Amino acid sequence: MGFREKFKNADHALTFNDVLLLPGWTTVEPSDAVVGSRASKNVELNVPFISSPMDTVTESEMSIALARHGGLGVLHRNCSVEQEVEIARAVKRAEALIIRDVITVRPGSTVDDLLALMDRHKIHGFPVVNENDSIVGIVTWRDLRLADRSLKVRDVMTKEVITAGENITLEEAKEILHEHRIEKLPIVDGKGRVTGLITMKDITLKGTYPEAIRDEEGRLICAAAVSPFDIERAKALDEYVDIIVTDVAHFHNRNCFEGAGRILKEVSADVVVGNIGTYEAAEDCLTKLEDVAGLRVGIGSGSICTTSVVTKAGAPTLYATSQAADAVRDYGSEVSVIADGGIRNPGDIAVALAVGASCTMMGNVFAGTSESPGRLVAIEGRYYKEYYGMGSAAARQKRFAQDRYSRPSKTVNEGVEGWVPYRGSVSDIVAEFVGGLKAAMGYVGARTIPDMWERARLALVTERGSEEINPHDVILPGSKRP
């Protein structure tokens, strides 16, 4: 191919700003639309929203909130393996039919130790077990309220513990909790060893969040990011997470494929790979890797990305989604396609779905919520939350300080640091985005997300046209010019 041909053969790397959804004949009212979709081969969500693995976006609070509202959080990896595992455990411990990962204490521990444990795990009661692991008491925050810190657990615990066997039903457990006015019911085996814990809180929560995505044991679904080279992290997380997501800017790379191949062999969680941006990359993921459960697509579109500025390399999320989704369809595969980066509103989500996305991943949108770990700051009377790219100087510095497995393979920063407007709780954002997405589906005439794939048609917008699409010829509050 001559050099000049490269212009002729250049693809149109369209972005969210370049397209509109065409309204179609519809029999669907927005309230009829169903927005459930697949996050990976084995995990179905009730809303197609996933939060980015970034340390200003997703830790346990975000994951818990999103899973309760039908979505999914992907824990960031900008920390040690132990810290990421601890965060995943906190998500899994937030709710359960029967908590299996029960934290117990010894009668000889001090009240002081106990308070530290409560603070660390954010839980308020522990079964007390002896050296044979048999239950001898239970201690909750009520027992500690006025206790001297140097007292021993045996001095303050309740010794007559009400327990139940493995075969208890949830209804029976509820009755016992009610009857005895207690909050926690330890489950024990024939030798009195604690094998689980049923709590009043979990029973109540089950009714409070009907849209929640839970595993077979009633625990919230959780996903976590790993570097494709970090097999140890993937193995350590495998016990606690449902999905492992590789987290690298350009996954279509021999070393990344080799690393992910090892992870895929070693873990039982679903593995989502990415990021990728082309049909060929998706094709290679489907044919050269075994058991991939999803594709994370989009390179350079993120609101904090400078990849395409610094390197001129990129595959905008909308373009990348259509490429990957075509490969998935051509190969008759069931993997999910997660459109990642550049999404600002429900309309962007609707067009991502129109070109084959199963779900969307958002950093900026969720960074502004109260559940994100970023700092809240006031600037000129308005509230903002800190948000920075994982390739930014701030994130890189933190990673190399905390994670001995990280590989500083690049010498340039590919992200920026800044603030996003504070926008309330995750539940508000989910409600707003579900409303907007359902309205878009009503315009298209799509009842479900697979209907969006089939029915949605796009129109291209010119640069002049986009001025007309946005509010114009009015003075908006806060703007300086008409």
Task: Select the residue interacting with ligand XMP from 47, 54, 102, 111 (CB under 6 A).
Answer: 54
> How many Å apart are CA 417 and CA 408, to the nearest integer?
19
Catalytic residue among 222, 256, 285, 305: 305
Task: Select the residue interacting with ligand XMP from 40, 78, 227, 303 (CB under 6 A).
Answer: 303
Q: How far is the CB of 461 from ligand XMP (least distance, A)?
A: 20
Nearest CB to ligand XMP, comparing residues 77 and 184: 77
* Upstream peptide bond of 9 is cis (omega within 30 degrees of 0): no
Eight-class DSSP state of 221: P
Task: Select the residue interacting with ligand XMP from 125, 391, 444, 446 (CB under 6 A).
Answer: 391
> How many Å apart are CA 70 and CA 431, to the nearest integer?
11
Cα dihedral sign, 20-21-22-23: negative
Piece in contact with ligand XMP (CB under 6 A), picked from 22-30, 120-128, 300-308, 436-444: 300-308
Q: How far is the CB of 396 from ligand XMP (least distance, A)?
A: 9
User: Nearest Cα to 203, choosing from 175, 233, 241?
Assistant: 175
- Contact status: 227 vs ligand XMP (CB under 6 A): no
CA 313 to chain CA mean position, Å: 26
> Within 10 Å of residue 101's Cβ, how many Cβ atoms?
14
- One DSSP character per residue, 11-34 reads -----GGGEEEEP------GGG--
Nearest CB to ligand XMP, comparing residues 140 and 303: 303
Point out the residue whose Cβ comes nearest to ligand XMP. Answer: 415
Using DSSP, state whether 34 is helix, strand or coil.
coil
Task: Select the residue interacting with ligand XMP from 305, 357, 394, 437 (CB under 6 A).
Answer: 305
Question: 294 with 335: CB under 8 angstroms?
Answer: yes
Q: How far is the CB of 388 from ligand XMP (least distance, A)?
A: 7
Task: Select the residue interacting with ligand XMP from 48, 228, 347, 415 (CB under 6 A).
Answer: 415
Task: Select the residue interacting with ligand XMP from 40, 56, 58, 307 (CB under 6 A).
Answer: 307
Which helix (H) or strand (E) element contains residue 337?
strand 336-340
Based on the residue annotation, tell me whether 404 is a catalytic residue of this protein.
Answer: yes
* Residues within window 259-278 making contact with ligand XMP, judged by CB under 6 A: 275
Q: How far is the CB of 22 from ligand XMP (least distance, A)?
A: 25
- Contact status: 304 vs ligand XMP (CB under 6 A): yes
* Residues within window 325-384 making contact with ligand XMP, judged by CB under 6 A: 340-343, 361-364
Nearest CB to ligand XMP, comparing residues 299 and 444: 299
Task: Select the residue interacting with ligand XMP from 127, 259, 294, 389 (CB under 6 A).
Answer: 389
User: Nearest Cα to 374, choosing from 307, 304, 309, 297?
Assistant: 304
- Contact status: 300 vs ligand XMP (CB under 6 A): yes
Using DSSP, state whether 421 is helix, strand or coil.
strand
> How many Å apart are CA 58 and CA 71, to the nearest integer?
13
- One DSSP character per residue, 111-131 reads HHHHHHHHHHHT--EEEEE-T
Cα dihedral sign, 41-44-48-52: negative
Which residues contact ligand XMP (rule: CB under 6 A)? 52, 54, 249, 275, 300, 302-305, 307, 340-343, 361-364, 389-392, 414-415
Residues labelled as active-site residues: 305, 404
